[in-house]
Amino acid sequence: MRVSLGKFACSGIEAHLGEDIPAGVRAALSHYVRKLKAGRGPLDPPTFLDLTPAEPQATFDLSVDAETEAVLGQEAARQGTTLSQLASHTVMVYLAELDFLGIAPRADLGTVPQP
């Protein structure tokens, strides 16, 4: 799946999870999918906000397993958004949850926090 993130999402990943932006997105998506499967759907993206960055800080292809992509595809369709926009929202939700839980920023993605 193709993902584009703005500067704010990228700097949040770098501050909390380390410099590997794709690995940070993968962690956020994995957390989001686990919540969806558990019936605890995260907040929908705000309707007033366009999550497509005007000038993407990072754009990349992210490999995820078929089940994850299917779940995310269904969720994006339900919300009327794209996979890339959902990924951007997912990153922001994940970072907000880490902050709310008081999980200190980490530089080593080998120890990605699991809220």
CA nearest neighbour of 68 among 87, 55, 49: 87
**pLDDT tens profile 25-83:** 999 999 999 999 998 877 777 766 665 656 788 989 999 999 999 999 999 999 888 89
pLDDT for position 57:
85
User: Measured between alpha carbons, how far is 52 from 4 in angstroms, rounded to an integer?
Assistant: 7
**pLDDT tens profile 77-107:** 998 888 998 999 999 999 999 888 887 666 4
CA distances from 98 to 41, 81, 113 (A): 16, 24, 8
